[in-house]
Amino acid sequence: MIRLSASAVITAQLLAACGDSSSGSSSSSAVKIGTPEDPIEQPLFDDNPAIESDLQPEDGPLKIFNWADYLWPRVINDFSEEFGVEVELTTFYNMEEATRKLRTGDLNFDVFFPTAEVLPKFVAGKLLQPLNHDYLPNLSGNVWEELQDPYFDVGSRYTVPYTVYQTGIGWRTDIVDADIESMDNPWDVFWDPSYDGQVGLYDDFRETVGVGLYRSDINNINTGRQADLDKARDALMELADLVNVRYTIDGAYAGMPESKFGLHHAWSGDVVGAQYYFPKGEDASVLRWMWPPKSEASTAGGYVSNDSLAITRDGENPVLAHMFINYLLDSKVALKNFGWLGYQPPLESIDPAQLVSEGYVPENLSSAIIAKEDFGLGQVPVQLPPNVERMWLDTWSQVQSG
């Protein structure tokens, strides 16, 4: 999957449309931010209702708006053939672009793939419509119970889970010989001058400022303390001279297979998918991945979260959109998609212990398999309040310009 950092434009665009009214109002609501400790039910609006039950699907075409490389084209084709509708896919590379296109209304989309931490803004800005669960039997039938009622959208009013992921450390054993799993703080490996020219971090302000926090032994990755962010900034700014760090969008899944990087900040799904990017004849078993919260030698943190599926407010095919989301939550369809994508769907029918034996994940990357209990081990990034998000963006800007 390809992601880029969201910019301050998202905050300005969405919050400009958000007032202070409460749920049930016909005007926009203030942003409702939930946390794992304090879950929140997103507001409903009189002028933005869910569709009625028992409606016939529209004729299409169904229009999907998704991250690049985040859905197997064959799954789209299979849905198109099974239901006799045309499907159009448009991709985006960052949430700024996605927000702009949804806000202008110049292009209408039906199905959208938001991240958990930006969902509150999209709800408050009325860019999404509430879901009608009558069309989504696979939500209650197949999805992990813990994610049917997520902290950021209690009751799954606007979203259903698509994939789960962790952010950890990926490397090639033929380039990196450090015993990363035994380190007190595995994130320190990015500061090892032995790997000058081999180090990559994501071009994502939440993820990479988070690495700076972890390096500084700060596990609060939703911090609003300027002192914490200053420590993260200073740590990250050391990397330019120390290891000639490069910030990338595809270094983990495409750069490491080509030996452009020996060590990369990595989403679990990117590393699982990286095995398919190795040049023909080269050995993908050199890949390794670890998530620090699972290390017995470390108390360092690591991100864990899920991405979601939603329906846009202005979509012209809401029934068809519900059908497509329900289709993606089908166990067989989700497993097929996982085999191509590398990002794990949180379905009860998928036994993490069997993903290696059934060939979906190679043995050398078994550490990238996610279990339900992992959500209690790592840190979950949540939507930051506007003033705190500005602090993070300022920190990231200083890192990039430094």
Domain 165-303+383-401: CATH superfamily, name plus number: Periplasmic binding protein-like II (3.40.190.10)
| CATH architecture type of domain 8-164+305-375 | 3-Layer(aba) Sandwich (3.40)
Please confirm whether the linkage preceding 293 is cis (ω < 30° from 0).
no
> Residue 249's pLDDT is what?
86
Q: Work out whether the CA dihedral 281, 357, 360, 87 comes out positive or negative.
A: positive
Nearest to 31 by CA among 39, 21, 207: 21
- Interatomic CA distance for residues 344 and 371, integer angstroms: 10
Question: 87-92 and 62-67: which strand pairing?
Answer: parallel
Q: What are the Cα distances from residue 32, in Å, to 43, 63, 109, 122, 370?
A: 8, 28, 24, 10, 28
pLDDT tens for the 402 residues of the chain, in order? 444 343 333 444 444 444 343 333 334 468 899 999 999 999 999 999 999 999 999 999 999 999 988 999 999 999 999 999 999 999 987 777 888 888 887 789 999 999 888 899 999 999 999 999 999 999 999 999 999 999 999 999 999 999 999 999 999 999 999 999 999 999 999 999 999 999 999 999 999 999 999 999 999 999 999 999 999 999 999 999 999 999 998 999 999 999 999 999 999 999 999 999 999 999 999 999 999 999 999 899 999 999 999 999 999 999 999 999 999 999 999 999 999 999 999 999 988 888 999 999 999 999 999 999 999 999 999 989 999 999 999 999 999 997
Looking at the chain, the domain(s) classified CATH 3.40.190.10 span: 8-164+305-375, 165-303+383-401
- Interatomic CA distance for residues 197 and 320, integer angstroms: 48
- Interatomic CA distance for residues 364 and 272, integer angstroms: 10
Q: What is the number of H-type helices and E-type strands within the chain?
A: 12, 9
Nearest to 305 by CA among 400, 370, 211, 386: 370
The rounded radius of gyration (Å) of the Cα atoms in the chain is 21
- Interatomic CA distance for residues 335 and 329, integer angstroms: 9
pTM score above 0.85: yes
